Amino acid sequence: MTRASLDKQPHEVATMFDDVAERYDLTNDVLSLGQTRLWRKEVAKAVDARPAQKVLDLAAGTATSSQPFAQAGAYVVPCDFSLGMLRVGKERHPWMPFTAGDGTKLPFKDDTFDAVTISFGLRNIQDTDVALRELYRVTKPGGRVVICEFSSPTWAPFRTVYTEYLMRALPPVARAVSSNPDAYVYLAESIRSWPDQPALAARLKDAGWSKVAWRNLTGGVVALHRGFKQG
C-alpha cells in the first residue's frame, strides 16, 4: 500500500504517512516553494500560545508545527495517527509528549486544552465533521481552534494555474524529492476535492464553534480558519 484513496480509510492514510515520514518536512518545503515556513508563522500568531497554556497540535506529524507553541512557553501535545511520523518526531524532539490518536476519537478528556490546532491534516481525517466536534469537545470553554488548510485561490486565473500545478507538476517534483511520490498524488487529489473557505466555515459553525472567521494566505492557496468555544 503506497497511497490512500479519497474515502480516507484511516489505516491507509496512516501507512502512507509512515512511508514518507523521514523526508516529509523537506518535501513539503520544496513542493510549496518555501511557503510552508511563512504559513507556520501565521498559524503561530493566530494560535497565540501563552506560557502555561495547554495546546493540542493535531496531525502534528514530526512536531515541526508544534515548536513555535513550545517556544512560547505553552505545554503542547503533538498528536498524530501515523506511528512512523511520531517515531521520527520523537527522535528529533525527545522531550515532547507525542501522543498517538485518531482525530475522530481523541484520547483526551473534555475541556482539556486552551487552544487546539491542525495544519494540513483535517482533509486527511475520514470524517471532517466528527473531527471538528472532537476538537470542540477537548477544548476548554473560552478556548480557540485554528485550522490551517489548503483552500481555494480567490483569483480565478490563478486558481486554474494552481490546479494544473497540483495535478501535473506536483507528481514529478514529488518523484524527485520524496520517498513515496504516490502519496503526493493522493494529497493533490485531496486538496482539489476539499471544501472552499465559506464551506469549511459553515462546518465549523455546525460543530458548535462560534465567532468563526477565516483569512487567506498566498492568495487563498491556504486559509486560516479560527473559532471559539463559548464559555
Q: What is the pLDDT of residue 32?
A: 57
Alpha helices in the chain (DSSP H): 10-20, 24-31, 35-47, 67-71, 83-92, 128-138, 156-164, 170-177, 181-192, 197-206
Q: What is the pLDDT of residue 34?
A: 64
Per-residue pLDDT tens digits for 179-222: 666 666 777 777 778 899 999 999 999 999 999 999 999 889 89
Q: What is the pLDDT of residue 4?
A: 43
Res. 117 pLDDT band, cuts 50 70 90: very high
Q: What is the pLDDT of residue 35?
A: 78
Q: What is the pLDDT of residue 3?
A: 43
Per-residue pLDDT tens digits for 15-62: 655 555 455 555 555 455 567 788 889 999 999 999 999 999 999 999
Weakest-pLDDT range from 16-20, 92-96, 113-117, 206-210: 16-20
Q: What is the pLDDT of residue 140?
A: 98
Question: Which cell goes with 40?
Answer: 507556520
Q: Which residues contact 216 (CB under 8 A, 6 or more apart)?
A: 151, 154, 197, 222, 223
Q: Which one has a higher pLDDT value, 133 or 169? A: 133
Calculate what percentage of the chain has a pLDDT beyond 90.
55
